[in-house]
Amino acid sequence: MCVKRLQAWMISLLCLLSVCACAEERAALPQGVSDLCMRVHPGYEIAAYDGWGDESRGQIALILKQGDDNILCMAEKAEEDPAYGLTIDNTNAVYDGDALPSLLIDTGGDSLWYTYVDERGENSVHYGSIKSEGRWGRVSTISYSPDTDGISGLFSWVSDGTLCYEETDEDENENIRDRWMYAPITVNKAFEQSLELANFNINTFDADPRDGLYPMLGNEAFVRSRMSGNHILRDMDVSAVHMATLLESRTGQHFLRIDDWDESFYQTAALLQFADAAVLDTYHAGAGDVYVSTGVMMYSIERADAGSWYLTGVDDSGVRMIGPDYAAPDGQTIMYRNDGFVYGASPWGVLRGQNIVLSSSYEEMFAQMDQSAYALIHNPNSADRLHLRAKPDKGSHSYGKFYNRTPVLVLERGDIWTKVQIGRGGACLTGYMMTKFLAFDESEKVQLACAFPQKVLRDEYREQGIRLCAEPKNTAVTERRFRQSCDDFIIGVYDDEWYIVLRADGTVGYVLQDAFWEGNG
């Protein structure tokens, strides 16, 4: 239903633009409309108008102006009416100041669009309303902005009790290359009524979820259905797969709630509590990313391929990092290697709807990590690599050979063989390694040098990534990709064809070796 409504708006807008382009001159303003405006708003001038009609009947949209004050009006008259009347008289529907929107009203009636264009003529926002059963309906928006090789479009509307967004990627000829829906936001009847043209306030409605929805929160009609009565909604962010809401309790505590959207309903995925007042960074966040700042710490929370959420990093003033199972040294990180990284189990490794308190200092969070849960591969000869076997036997199948400082989660420690897990979540490897080649002691781990290859993903794979396979087979079916960020590592090899990689989210998989090169250093 949402898509059909969107398509109807698009057709309406295109038709209106065509009518406008073909019109040679605008119809003269009926004297009855001029007299009406002067009588209702004395001292205001008619700064812009569009529509159709004469003294007997008509439908005309107007902008009335006095100084910086602007008013959107709709003057209408049917043949049986004695005179024109203002069916819309809204001082909040348009911006104040000298920048005036262009008006476009369907010559057939009952469709209005008014448009703002920036000074360069590149970015535009269109506000539209359709009249039905004698009443002007909810305002819908379309915004366009130039992209690197085309146009980005964003559409917003309310349908079936939800606020909907769709984004499009169009080429330079306005052909749609891709489109995707954002997760819908449930709204109540009062919010829907606030979007009707007669009530619409352009200053409190932000049509772009890419810049956050905070300006909308000043509207008390915005629904609070997913919050406890003891919380105040402070900020929110929405993407195609999730909604993040920042809440404050009556006692001043700040909470982050993350709800996953699966195209039919929301399910709470995580609930975090912060020791300090927090704000969302909606500008840098994307689908499956949430960034929260307290002014002292910056927290990054990401959604893994398997659907679970985890804390992927914490920055403090010392630029130190804490992730789901590691703590990184300050300012000394070596590209594509984990020298100095400390590994340990933590309560934020996988966030499953629980109320986890995130500390306000790196030291406090570091103290919560259980380092004994992890060991590091330690070959006496750093050029050697250690097999991960399917069974505790040297003749058993090997999943690959792993470099020094590969972190392994200890599942069962034995005198000769230790059962371990490499990676987290569903995309991990489980098997057996020889105990004597694993470092368990903390002092030994700290001094152990990393032997990961510093290979760089080739340019042709940097943007789209390379296939990340669950097993070393060219025929493996997978939708996972490896793009290689600074905290993604090559941790092992399989024969002479495959590398084994560990992504920041804990995903482990096989990537073809010829996708990498030596780099520039």
Q: Are residues 350 and 385 in the same domain?
A: no
Q: Minimum mean pLDDT among 240-244, 389-393, 433-437, 503-507: which range?
A: 503-507
pTM: 0.73
Q: What are phi and psi of 447, to 5 degrees?
A: -85, -10
pLDDT digits (tens, 9 = 90+) for 87-105: 999 999 999 999 999 999 9
Check whether residue 73 and residue 176 sit in a common domain. yes
User: Residues 245, 100: one domain?
Assistant: no
E strand or H helix at 505: none
378 and 477, same domain (yes or no): no
Average pLDDT rounded to a whole number, residues 134-160: 90
Longest Cα–Cα distance of the chain, Å, equals 99
Q: Is 341 helix (H, G, I), strand (E, B) or coil?
A: coil
Q: Does residue 466 sit in the same domain as residue 437?
A: no
pLDDT band at residue 520 under the 50/70/90 scheme: low
- Number of separate domains in the chain: 4
Chosen domain end from 414, 447, 480: 447
Instruction: Say whether both 388 and 265 belong to one domain.
Output: no
Confidence class of residue 406 from pLDDT cuts 50, 70 and 90?
A: very high
Which of 194, 210, 232 lies at the terminal end of a domain, its last residue?
A: 194
Residue 287 has φ and ψ, to the nearest 5°, of -65, 120
In this structure, the answer to whether residues 362 and 378 fall within a common structural domain is no
The secondary structure of 73-135 as a DSSP string is EEEEE-TTSSS-EEEEEESSSS--SS---EEEE-TTSSEEEEEEE-TTS--EEEEEEEEETTE
Q: Give Cα 487 to chain centroid, integer Å.
A: 21
3-state secondary structure of 506: coil
**Same domain for 360 and 380:** no
Range of the domain at 162: 2-194
Q: Are 50 and 150 within one domain?
A: yes
Across the beta sheet with 321-322, what order do the strands follow?
A: 321-322, 326-328, 342-343
pLDDT in tens, 183-226: 888 777 888 888 999 999 998 776 566 666 555 555 544 545 55
Residues 359 and 432 in one domain: no
Residues 342 and 390 placed together within one structural domain of the fold: no
What is the per-residue pLDDT for 109?
Answer: 76
Residue 286 lies in a domain: yes
Q: Is residue 175 part of a domain?
A: yes
What's the pLDDT score for residue 125? 92
Does residue 205 lie within any of the structural domains?
no
Structure tokens of 4? 């059909």
- The whole-number pLDDT of residue 500 equals 97
Residues 356 and 382 in one domain: no
Task: Return the pLDDT at 194.
Answer: 87
Mean pLDDT (whole number) for 110-130: 92
Q: State pLDDT tens for residues 15-62.
A: 444 444 334 346 689 999 999 999 999 999 999 999 999 999 999 999
